[in-house]
Amino acid sequence: MVEDLSDAHYEALASIRHELRRFLHFSEQEASSSGITPQQHQALLAIRASVGPMLVGALADHLLLKPHSASELVNRLVKLDLVRRLAGTTDKRQVPVELTEEGGALLASLSRAHRDELRRIRPLLNQLIGAL
């Protein structure tokens, strides 16, 4: 078998993985310092990014969770007044969820910090990806 990756490719891949892990650590710290878990932050972001209210089942799919785990996650977000459940349609199993004003404000603050961090590391990531 012919090796099609050079030492430089492996170095670039290792560095990319390291930088992505550093970004994830940054993200986890930002969420925690805002009083929520990283998973709650991911849920808020997924709900906000959804076109219209997101169903709990779709949230489970998005976060790679079992439906009952997503439902418990939503329960915790409701208790924090960050999301609200809407009246279901004809199918009671399909429960739409949307951000509250407080949830939207918290997410906006976290998203600005994440955008700024991504802008900061973009040149390095571009350079590392270019090395591949």
In which region does residue 55 sit, left (phi positive, over 0), alpha (psi from -120 to 50) or beta (all else)? beta
DSSP string, 40-83: HHHHHHHHHHSSSSEEHHHHHHHHT--HHHHHHHHHHHHHTTSE
- Domains plus CATH for the chain? 7-130 (1.10.10.10)
Band of the pLDDT at 120, cuts 50, 70, 90?
very high
Q: What is the mean pLDDT of residues 4-17?
A: 92
Residue 76 has what pLDDT? 98
Top pLDDT among 43 and 51 is at 43
Residue 71 has what pLDDT? 93
Band of the pLDDT at 1, cuts 50, 70, 90?
low
Q: What is the mean pLDDT of residues 19-46?
A: 98
Judged against a pLDDT cut of 60, whether residue 63 lies above it is answered with yes
Instruction: Name the pTM for this structure.
Output: 0.89
Crossing angle of helices 38-49 and 7-33, rounded to 10°: 90
DSSP assignment, residue 28? Answer: H
